[in-house]
Amino acid sequence: MQQLVRVFSADGTYCPGFQFREDLSLHPVVTGLFERAMALRIPHNYFAAWMVTGCPALREGRPVDLVDRLAPATLLAALERSFEHGPRGGRSSV
């Protein structure tokens, strides 16, 4: 359960589908990105928003669309760059 990205709202808690493969196993690249996000203390909701929003560090590409096309290290670097000033400060892609 700690590996799952969860989005919290007034209506409940949701697990975004982007973290699952077609066979419903966890996508290892997303799991790795999320693990790093947790180490950086990025809240679940911010990470989920980052995954589905155009990212300046990825030429405005959405990480969710690139998890199978880019090297995991490229995505990790984009995550770190997006949140280098914390989840609420600085320029982020969310």
Rounded to an integer, the average pLDDT of 10-27 is 95
How many helices and strands in the chain, by DSSP H and E?
Answer: 4, 2
**At residue 31, what is the residue type?**
T
Report the C-alpha gap between 32 and 36 in whole angstroms: 6
**28-64 residue pLDDT tens:** 999 999 999 999 999 999 999 999 999 999 999 999 9
Write down the pLDDT at residue 94: 46
pTM score, whole prediction:
0.87
Cα end-to-end distance, the chain, whole Å: 25
Q: What is the mean pLDDT of the chain?
A: 91
Write down the pLDDT at residue 1: 54
